[in-house]
Structure 1
Amino acid sequence: MSRTLRARICLSVLLTLTVVGLGPGAAGAAEPDPSPTRGPGVTASPGQYALDSRLERALGDRGAGSYLDSATGELVVAVTDPAAAAAVRASGARAELVERSTARLEAVMGVLESRAKIPGTSWGIDPAANQVAIEADGSVSARSMARLRSVAASLGDAVRLRRVPGTFTKEVAGGDAVHGGGFRCSAAFNVSRGTDLFFLTAGHCTQSAVSWSASSGGAEIGTREGSSFPTDDYGLVRYTGTPEAPGTVNLHDGGSQDITSAADAIVGQALRKSGSTTGVTSGTVTAVDVTVNYSDGPVYGMVRTTACSAGGDSGGAHFSGPTALGIHSGSSGCTGTNGSAIHQPVREVLGVYGVAVY
C-alpha cells in the first residue's frame, strides 16, 4: 500500500454527486501543523523524480522517505544508518540520518488501522519530520477524538495529531465536465493503449455509471473500462467513436498544459490541481502513503497536499508542469488558500491498466 483527456468535453472531470459534496464546517478550530514542509513548495526536476524512485528501491528498509528542501530545492533522503547515508550522498542527493525507517512508520500506521479506523480521519508519512501525521476532521465526535488521542499517545513521538476544519469527502475535480448516472464528474488525464484512447478519473465517479457523456442526457462519449473504490480511488473510461483527445490539462484561463510524463509526488514539491469547480489551484505536497477514512470506506496509498478544492473537483488532475502526478479524490475543504486536497498517485493507475500519458 506504499507509493509502490482532454476531449474538449472532458479533460479533468469533476463529479458533482448530489450525495457527496463538500461537508459542513468543522466543530472546533483547526490546529496549526508544525511540519517542516508547510509553506510554498519547490519545483521538482525530472532528474529528481528519477533519483527519488531509484533510491527508494535501492535503500529498502534502510530508507525513511524523501522530500525537497524548501530553501535549497535539494532532494533530501532520510536514512537510518551511516552506510545508507554515504550511498545517498554518492548519488548526488542529501542524506539525513533519522530514527524511524519507512517500514517502522508503516507499522505505526498499521496500529492506527487496527485501533483507530474512524471515519473523518487520515494519516500518512511526513518524511521531513520522520513522523506519521494524523488529521481528524470536524465530524469526529468528542468520544472518538478521545480514543484517537489515546492511541496516538501510545505511539509517542512517532506520530503527531491535529484537528482540521471541514469534513473529508469525495469531491469532483478536473477540467471539463462529464456526466454519468445522473452525476457530474471530470477527467484527469487522457491516456492511450496502442491506438485506443481513454481518460482517467476517480473511482468513486466510475462506480456510479457505465456510460459517460459531455452533458447531462447528452450523447455517449465513453464507457467504463475499469473502476476501483474504496481501497483505491481510480477509474478508466474508454472513448467511443473517434474523439479529439489531446494529452493536455485545462488551465481554465483559455490555455492548457501539455502532459508528457508521469511521476510519484515528492513531499515538499509544488503542484497544481485543475478542477471544474475551483479551477486551477496551487499547493505543496505534505505527506505520502496516506490513508483516508471516508464515511463509505478507506482509501490507501494516497498523497496529501495543501491545494484548495471543493465539491465537484473529484477525478481532476494533480500535476507539476508537464508531469502528471495524481487523480483528485477528496479533501476536508479549504480555509483561505490552505486546502487539504488528496490525490490517488497516477503512476500506480497507469501500471494497473497498462496505459500511458501522451
Structure 2
Amino acid sequence: MTARRTTPRRTTPRRTTNRHSQLVGYALSLLGVAVLTVSGTSATAASAAQPPTPSSVSGPASALTSLGIDGTAWTVDERSEKVRVLADSTVTDTEFALLRHTVDRFAGAVTVERLDGRLRTLLSGGDGIHAAGRRCTAGVNVQSGSTYYFVTAGHCAADLPTWYTGAALDTAVGPTTGSSFPGNDFGVVRYANPAVPHPGTIGTVDVTGTASAYVGQRVCTRGATTGVRCGVVTALNMSVNYGGGDIVNGLIQTNICAEPGDSGGPLYAGDKVIGILSGGSGNCATGGTSYYQPIQEVLSAYGLSVY
C-alpha cells in the first residue's frame, strides 16, 4: 500500500519518507543494518578464516542494498561481525542465485539463509482497532499534556483518517494525527471521543515506562488476533524489505509468532513498553518471527509519553 508521508510536528506530525533515500541510508549506516529474507530452511554460509573487520562488511552490505530484492532483510551480527542475509519464499531461485553470486565476492564476511514463509506486514479484518477495510491493534496509550493518543503501526495508520472500536465502524475513537512508513513503521491516533476509555495499561499490565531491547531479553506481545504470547529478543537493528519498496530500518527481531491483525501491538518486558509490531513471517500454528519498531523513536518524534 502507499503510505502518507508528511513532515512531523510535535503532537500531530507526519514524516516524509523517500524510498530511494532509504536505500541510500542503508549504505550510510552499514554496521547497523541487517539483511533478512523470510524463506525456508537454512542454507550455505560463506567460508570464514578470520572475523571480518567493520570495514570489510561495508562492501557486502552496499552490494546487497543495491540489489533491491523484495522479501529480504539484513543485519551485521555483533558477535561474528558478519553480514547475515535471509531470503523469504517470494525470492525466486534466480534472485537467490544472484544473492549468492554477489556475496561470493566477499568470502568470510557474509552468510546467506532461506527461511520458511513470506515476510509481510500484518493486516486483516476483525477485532482490534478498525478503519475502512483494515484492522490492526492499538499498541500503547500515550499523552502530550492533556491530549491522549495511542501508538500503532505506520503501515496501519497511513492514509486512514479515522479509527473505530469495532468492525461496524459505529463508535469512533479519533483521527490519525501522524504516521511514518516505510523507513519507520509507527503511527499515532488521537482520542477524540470522550466515551472511549484509554487506561495506561496493556491488558492487565499497568505500564510504568519504556525500555530498550537487548538480545536474549524475555519479552511478550499482545495482539488482537493472537492475544498474549512471549519469547525472546533474537536480534537488533534489523532492516526488512516487505516488498514494493517498503523497507523498514532499525527493527527488533523476536522469536514470537504473529498473525494478520496483530500489527501495531505492543512488545513489552514486565511493565515497560519496548516496541510496536511491524510485521513478521510464519504463523502461530507452525512458529514464526516478528519485528518491532522501537517505541522511543515515535515518542521522541511526536513529543509523547506513556502513562
Q: Say which SS state the counterpart of residue 268 (structure 1) adopts.
A: coil
> CA separation in 1, counterparts of 2:213 and 2:161?
30
Q: 1:104 to 1:327 in 2, by over 3 A?
A: farther
The answer to whether the Cα contact below 8 Å between 1:172 and 1:329 also exists between their aligned partners in 2 is no
Matched, 1:272 2:224: no
Q: CA deviation at 1:158?
A: 2.6
The answer to whether the Cα contact below 8 Å between 1:180 and 1:208 also exists between their aligned partners in 2 is no
Q: Which residue of 1 aligns with 2:258?
A: 309
> CA separation in 1, counterparts of 2:247 and 2:180?
12
Give the aligned residue type for 2:173: I
The answer to whether the Cα contact below 8 Å between 1:126 and 1:286 also exists between their aligned partners in 2 is no
> CA separation in 2, counterparts of 1:267 and 1:289?
11
Alignment of 1:273-288 (within 5 A): 273-288=221-236
Q: Which residue of 1 aligns with 2:5?
A: none
Match of 2:138 among 167, 175, 187: 187
The answer to whether the Cα contact below 8 Å between 1:125 and 1:287 also exists between their aligned partners in 2 is no
Give the aligned residue type for 1:222: G
Q: Say which SS state the counterpart of residue 157 (structure 1) adopts.
A: coil
- State the identity as a percent: 36
Match of 1:200 among 151, 160, 169: 151
> CA separation in 2, counterparts of 1:289 and 1:307?
17
Q: Which residue of 2 aligns with 1:79?
A: none
Q: 1:129 to 1:246 in 2, by over 3 A?
A: farther
Q: Which residue of 2 aligns with 1:244?
A: 197
Unpaired runs of 5+ residues, structure 2, are 1-36, 46-50
Q: Deviations over 1:293-339 (max 9, x none)?
A: 11232111112111111111111111111111111011111376642
Q: Which residue of 1 aligns with 2:25?
A: none
Match of 1:111 among 54, 63, 72: 63
Q: How large is the RMSD of aligned CA atoms in angstroms?
A: 2.6
Q: 1:286 to 1:157 in 2, by over 3 A?
A: farther
Q: Deviations over 1:43-66 (max 9, x none)?
A: xxxxxxxxxxxxxxxxxxxxxxxx
If the length of structure 2 is used for normalisation, what is the TM-score?
Answer: 0.78
Unpaired runs of 5+ residues, structure 1, are 1-25, 35-97, 251-255
If the length of structure 1 is used for normalisation, what is the TM-score?
Answer: 0.67
Aligned length: 262
> CA separation in 1, counterparts of 2:173 and 2:39?
44
Match of 2:42 among 13, 31, 43: 31
The answer to whether the Cα contact below 8 Å between 2:212 and 2:294 also exists between their aligned partners in 1 is yes
Matched, 1:234 2:234: no
Q: Deviations over 1:134-180 (max 9, x none)?
A: 2111110000000111222223333222111110010149xx61111
Q: Which residue of 2 aligns with 1:323?
A: 272
Q: Which residue of 1 aligns with 2:100?
A: 149
Q: Which residue of 1 aligns with 2:170?
A: 218
Matched, 1:349 2:298: yes
Q: Which residue of 1 aligns with 2:7?
A: none
276-285 vs 335-344, which moves further: 335-344
Q: CA deviation at 1:106?
A: 6.0
The answer to whether the Cα contact below 8 Å between 1:172 and 1:186 also exists between their aligned partners in 2 is no
> CA separation in 1, counterparts of 2:284 and 2:103?
26
